[in-house]
Amino acid sequence: MAEADRVKKAGPRSTGRPTIRDVSQLAGVSRMTVSRAISDPELVLPATREKVAKAIAALGYVPDRTAGSLSSRKTGFIALMLPTLTNANFAAVAHGLTEALRDANFHLLIAYTEYDMVEEERQLRNLLARRPEAIVMTGATHSPAASKLLLAADVPIIEIADLPSRPIGHVIGFSNHEVGRTAARYLIDKGHTRIGAIGGTVEGEVRDHRGEERMRGFEDELRLAGLSADAVLRYGEAPLSYDHGAAAIARLLKKSPDCQAVFAVSDLSAVGAMMQCQRMGVSIPDQLSLIGFGDFEIGRIVDPPLTTIHVDFNELGRRTGATLLALLGEDGDARPGRVDVGLSVVERESVSKA
């Protein structure tokens, strides 16, 4: 019988909370049996399992995963790096991921970069100290040091919401460049020729790389169509919101009063711009067409409803979760995958008909 376990008392550094040893002593079995009864019940006789369950309930025992993690070298953590949580789409990703990982008993460790690469690196280091079993990064632009840390981490890495040409690991995303191009094409197809855009990357310092990518795609498509990109305005800093859009559109229209159509890199800016137009007596879509990005709920609510480019962030979160589960499950398919969840134009009424 488990003699060694029966006599051992809690050491001086113990927390006082019941441990697996207390359970084993009360149940009259070894610690290993308790461990198995919890994490792999089929290996234990039903009668034994019952005894253990009783002891657990009697003591109010809650296993310590910190200890378990150290021993098994599996922490059950997934690191998720987001620009911010106060953005419905990123929140949706986090939500979808949590959902997908819930039953596998993984926990998400979320960190926010606030669109700052230095902060990203700092946060990454903190995250790494928790020994996550996989890392999910939003975007694909990292500092050299951060890239090095990621490579050295030796765990699956998934870059999401982007489609980098030189990815570090797996990719589940969409092309932000294509978003911009699609927006431009859409406005061009509607017959506009004086076309502008508002986004948040001030000259010289890029914070929101994905937003900047959308701006570039937009510009590229304009040029391809032989149109001027003069009315593409970069103003303010991420995170972009209503106020940004309002200020940006005011500037833009002052600079380029003949502008017929505008792409906003975020629906939030787009809506802010819309409000500002109302205040300035600029009618949408009659005097100015507006297309956004992100398909935020608010775009359905405003009047006129906002035409926008939709990406299924929920799907993105779910796909990421499923990939993670596959990666961390059985064998761990090592081949880095690349998934493009695509995008689509949601036609509503903020763009004038061709």
276 contact partners, CB below 8 Å, separation of at least 6: 245, 246, 247, 249, 250
Closest contact distance (angstroms) between CB of 72 and DNA is 4
Asked whether the bond before 285 is cis by omega within 30 degrees of 0, the reply is yes
Look at residue 36 and give the partner it binds from its own copies, DNA, none, a contact being a CB closer than 5 to 8 Å depending on partner kind.
DNA
d(CA 275, CA 273): 5
Q: Residue 43 or 202: which CB sits closer to DNA?
A: 43
By CB under 8 A, what part of segment 226-285 binds its own copies?
241-242, 271, 275
Binding of its own copies at residue 32 (CB under 8 A)?
no
Q: Is 331 helix (H, G, I), strand (E, B) or coil?
A: coil
Q: Residue 90 or 293: which CB sits closer to its own copies?
A: 90
236: DSSP letter: S
Binding of its own copies at residue 21 (CB under 8 A)?
no
What residue type is assigned to position 278 of the chain?
A: Q
Look at residue 5 and give the partner it binds from its own copies, DNA, none, a contact being a CB closer than 5 to 8 Å depending on partner kind.
DNA
CA dihedral 63, 67, 73, 74 (to 10 degrees): 30
Binding of its own copies at residue 53 (CB under 8 A)?
no
Which token pair is 137? Answer: 């990064």
Closest contact distance (angstroms) between CB of 51 and its own copies is 21
> Is there a contact between 277 and 210 (Cβ–Cβ < 8 Å)?
no
Closest contact distance (angstroms) between CB of 91 and its own copies is 5
* Of the candidate residues 69, 147, 193, 287, the single one contacting its own copies (CB under 8 A): 69
220 contact partners, CB below 8 Å, separation of at least 6: 177, 180, 181
Closest contact distance (angstroms) between CB of 77 and its own copies is 9
Binding of DNA at residue 44 (CB under 7 A)?
yes
CA dihedral 123, 125, 129, 133 (to 10 degrees): 80
Q: Residue 41 or 342: which CB sits closer to DNA?
A: 41
d(CA 259, CA 245): 16
Q: Residue 132 or 196: which CB sits closer to its own copies?
A: 132
Binding of DNA at residue 32 (CB under 7 A)?
yes
Look at residue 33 and give the partner it binds from its own copies, DNA, none, a contact being a CB closer than 5 to 8 Å depending on partner kind.
DNA
Binding of DNA at residue 19 (CB under 7 A)?
yes
Binding of DNA at residue 64 (CB under 7 A)?
yes
Binding of DNA at residue 334 (CB under 7 A)?
no
Burial of 113 (0-12, 13-18, 19+ CB in 10 A): buried
Question: Among the candidate windows 27-35, 89-97, 247-255, 305-313, which touches DNA by CB under 7 A?
Answer: 27-35
CA-based nearest residue to 338, from 204, 154, 167: 167
> Interface residues with DNA (CB under 7 A)?
1-5, 10-15, 17, 19-21, 28-33, 35-36, 38-39, 42-45, 47-48, 61, 63-64, 67-68, 70-74
